[in-house]
Amino acid sequence: MPSSVLSIRPPAAQRLQEVFSRGFAVVAMLVWVALVALVPPAHAAMASSDGAQLFANHCAGCHIHGGNVLRRGKTLKLAALERQGVASEAAIAAIAAAGVGQMGGYANVLGEDGVQAVAAWVWDQAQAGWPRS
């Protein structure tokens, strides 16, 4: 038999396939909408976390205990912050958001609330001498 004769489906089978395809697409769309509605954006979840956790997740790799593994003099210790003219929560927030020198900004990762939470926590730690807890 010619291949064109074999590829012809009866109308009932064609209709069944169309219904199944549409049904599957509808179910897939409903699942996607439910996931989007139930899962908050990453920055919203981070913004609700406290500054210590955000610092641990995003900053401690280079700034462990307020130090700096890349540039020894650019630490988060109070004396270094004062020497660099960034001894305030607002100045720390600006650097965390936009970055400075070799450090890139984290505004997109942390979100506005996250930047503020990290800056407040870093400023508190700097004033307390970065106690190890």
pLDDT in tens, 84-115: 999 999 999 999 999 998 899 999 999 999 99
Query: How do residues 45-58 score in pLDDT, each as one tens digit?
Result: 444 358 999 999 99
Distance from first CA to last CA of the chain, Å, rounded?
A: 80
**H helices present in the chain, as ranges:** 3-6, 11-38, 42-48, 51-58, 78-84, 89-98, 107-127
Please return the burial class of 49, using the count of CB atoms within 10 Å of its CB with bins 0-12, 13-18 and 19+: middle
Q: What is the pTM of this model?
A: 0.62
